[in-house]
Every structure is written in structure tokens, then in C-alpha cells.
Structure 1
């Protein structure tokens, strides 16, 4: 493709160009390989059970053990498999691939309208090509779908404050957060509202009562859709279903013992695990980041540490709203997933679009002012 054509697409049809790149990078390949981890067939088995038994509320898998996770991802897998009558690698991975494409498109549109467009465009390219996001887009898991609902839900929460000043609750917010809960449980509401609450506090624009009411209204309205499924599943699974749901969603988070639950909650790691997985998940761009540090000129600080920290805090408080929101989201997501003992790299994926925004800004700085380092890399 000639350079003028690429320039035209970038200048005139940037969203279309990015979506086409996303489609080319995932859709042709998701059906070529067999299931590669134990998690992929485990998730696909739920969709298989739905098609075979007709039970789309609480299907049984693993020798009559019920699927305790919310079923939205499995509904989509089963729906994609209906035309051919069976679940394949392609149809089971299709929801993750489509969620990836939607996430990238919304990220470009959201940040492209509010920040330097070149920065937003580079950020989406970093997301498309980093290992963690691309891998999640091509696997039969619920994490890519959850990330898409949470991130777009955060975008809508930001717009609610920015455009409406917390008046009313736009229907998109309960729809997105409700779907996030139907994908993987209460974290789909708790995490976005935690981020949004901290952001509102940092704005210093609203009283505590107004913030509390906004979070309360958004939270309650977002419970309607998931409660329909939880009540229906409880009628089928009874107390055994409730015990497993409590252990899965709250037991591991608050380090509670669950003697009646006979399975390993697993994935226990320390706090530093989150930072290591973020660095690994953003490869190859973390390599560029650490390589570029050798081209920076370091100066001995002239101020005491306390004054430096105060300056940093003041700079954060005076940030543009979009960057403040991104920073708050990034810090809150990492902090949130540092609390439970159970940690996995995919839990941190909602932080990736916000990391990409700052990494894109740093990339532009390196390109403009440290050209030798960029050329060598």
C-alpha cells in the first residue's frame, strides 16, 4: 500500500483504519490453532453444555458440577456456534476478538476527541501490538470481554460527569456495568465505581454527599440486569450456588476461609507480581521504554524529597481532566488488584488503555527530543 493511501486513511478515516488493522490482526487467525490452555476448553465446555442441554441459566459441566460464573461470555459463544450447531475454536474465541476490536475503536474515539489525536492513535497501536491484549483477544476466556465493558463503562462515567455534571444516570452506564457483572461477577460494578469515586474526589468539584449519591444511583441501576440471572441461577443451584459465588467473588478478595468450598482459589502472588506482569504484558514496548532511559539526561535533584513530592502532587491536582482521569484509573486498578491474594496478569487488562495513553505521550517526547535513541531502537 502506497504512503499517500496510508496518509489518507490516517487523516480522513483513522477509526476505520484502526478497526481494519484489528480485524486483520485477530479474526483470520482465531480458528487456526487448537485450544492451547486448560482454561480455553473449560470455558468452551459451558457453551457446549448450553447447546446440548438447552439450559442457558446454570448449565452443568465436569460431571454434574454447575458453571458458577456469570454466563454472558458463554451465551455469546453459544450464540456464535448456533448456525453451525457445535462449538469450535473459532466460535468460542469470537466474542473475545470482537470485544478487542470494539475496545480499540472506543479508546481511539474517546481519547482522540480529548487529547492530541496523534497521541490517541499511537496509544491504540500500542494496545493492538502489546502481548497481553493481543493474546487475550485470541483466547476462549472472559477477560477480554470484561475489560471492554469495564473500560467503556469508565469512559461513559467520565462523560456523565463531564457533559451532565452527574445529573440523571445515562442508560449506557447501567447497561455496560451490568454486562460486566454478567461477564465475571460483582467486580464489574465495584471496580469502575471505585475508580470513578476517587476521580470525583480528586476533582474537588462535588460534595461528599453528591459523590455518594452518584455512586449509589449508578451502582443500584447497574444491578438490575445481573440480578435477573443471579435469582434465576439461585433457584436452580440453591445454597450451593450462593456458597461458591461468595467464595469466588468475596472470599479470595478479603482472604476469607471457605471450608465448604473444595477447590483451589489459586493464583496467589505478592504485590510486585502486578508490576512484573504489566511490564511483561506490554512487551515489546516496555523494551523500548527501558532502552530509551539510557538517552535521558539525569540531574541531581535540587529540592528535598518532601518538596519534590509536594510538587508532584500539585502537578497531579492541576492536570487536565482527561489525563487526571487516566492516571486515577491506572493507579486505582493496580491498587484494587493488589488487595486480594489471588493475582493474574489478565486481571490488570482494564489498566492497559490508560497505560498506553501515557506511554504514547512518552513516545512522542522521545521521538521529538531524543531522536538518536529512537533511531537506534
Structure 2
């Protein structure tokens, strides 16, 4: 992987860059649609490419390991070929999903024992097995195995967990050094900063991760229920330490406003299920605020879904029609809303990039935050 900075904002730490992978270029800042189980819910790969124009998507190691299973992906030639997606892919390590199964998992120095959400069968993830699975999945960017702590989290637990995550990082690096890529292209490895919402731990972890010398770095554990102000504070601490010349990925974040505020702090990459999950519940994000398309007020509104026309659905369908689809529980409604939301997210980060390169990002960002913080 190669990362090149193309410009920065005059009044913030926002920056624009390009990540080069063997499956194509990624212009940053970027949002990655979440394709949990080899599919971004409700969206064809052609729509991801031609309408939403996603530079990169995210796959989930935990879910892909359980279904369709690693051997199937290996036989297919990797996730790119299996799902017929020819642009870059990032996989998380499975650590967050193990965290979400906290009632059924057991964590120790060796790794994590957990039960499948599908059939209750018992499985074990270690730093080594997570790396092996991600090698076989074949993502362009793979993540270190870490423990994602909950919020709130006691200081001593967060400290122990952080140090274990650092030890796991060394085991991940050793495995990768001893086991080359499974396919004929390169995979890039990102370690993860942890430390909950404790400034001293975040600083210590960021310094450790920065010294690891990886080609990119990630920040985890800041999308688990903490107030936005604490997220921003921890992100600022970490970004002040992580190398300027390497991409920074804030995992699991977030709302459109979260994304803009974190771009201003120096974050380059984001992922979140919010645009797709909220779309399936009838929530549409726009530059002027959020629409609940299920509300009665839209049943006779024959204006386009979004006159800014980020994707074809925005002007091809009306609000009244989309409201009808949700009322009738037609799945097409969820598909339309999903395409709209992903198109909006992609527009938002690309518009941010334009303003970073022209040097007026901060003024634009502040204006957008005010506009988007409305219920329409």
C-alpha cells in the first residue's frame, strides 16, 4: 500500500490523500460501506460501483468465518472474486463482534472463546487465527486482533486490556511475517489504538502503535456508547501522536456530523452500519437534515427524495412513493433508502475532500453541521 497526502485545510487538521492498493485507489477522507457477510445489505455490487461509487467496502471476519466459511472463500479465490467486487476491501479482525457477544465469550491471554450467533457452536479466535482467516479472505487492508472494551469501562480493566491488545499485536505481526499472502496481491496491516476514554491510556497506546511502524493505523473502542465529546477528545489525543504520513482509520463511526468533526481532527477513513441500518428503518440523511420517511407528512409530498441527486433514486422516486413503500412493507423501499443514504455519505466525504483541497473546509464543515442537525 502507498499513501500520499495531497493537501490540508488551513484552519483544522483535516487532510486529503490517496491510498494506493493492488485493487485500486482510495481517495481520502473516505467512508466505507459495511458489507458484513459479503454483501452490503440491499445493494447490488453494480450499484455500489456505478451509483454510490464506493472506493472501498468493509467485510467482517467473524461473520465470513462462520458463513460462508473460510475454506469456501479460499476455494473461490478470495472475497473479491466470491462477491464479484473488484475494488479494495478492508476486513476487521472479529474483535468487535466478539465484544458484542460479551455474554457468551471468555477472554484470556491466548485469545477469545465464543459461541456462534447462528447455531451456538463454540469457536476460538486468537491473534494468529484472526490473521490466518484474513489472509484467506484476501482483503487489501487487514486489522490487528484486539479487545474492544465497553463503555463505561473501569480504568484498571481498560489498562489491562490495552496492554493485552499490544501483546496480541506482536503476535499478529509475527504470524504475518512468517505467513505470506494467500493470493497474488499485497495485504496491508493496520494495528489498533485502544485505551477506552482515558487520555493517558490513549496516549500510551497511540505511542505504542505509532512505534509499530505499520503502513496505516486504526483507532478502536470509540463507537461503543460514549458521548460524542469524549470521542472527539480521544481522537484528538491519538491523532496528535499517530504518524502524519500514514492513513488513520476511526472504526465504527458514525453519524454524518461525527464524520465531519473527526475529519477536522485528522481522520482519513470511516465505516459504520448507520447509513444502511437506519435506511431500513426509514431514516434518510440529507444535507439539510434528517427525514423520517414513515411520517404521515410525506404521504402527499410528490417532490423528489433529494433534489441534490446524489444517486439515481433521489430524483427517480418521490417522497410520497417511498413513504408508501415503507407503509406497505415493500422491500424496495429499504433498498431505495439504502442507496440514497450511502450515496449521501459518499457525497459528504468527497465534498469534504474538495473543501480541504481548497483550504476552506472548516467554514464549510461548520455550516454543514448546523444544516444537518435538523429533523425535517
Answer yes or no: same fold by TM over 0.5. Answer: no
Greater strand content: 2
Greater helix content: 1
Larger Rg: 1 or 2? 1
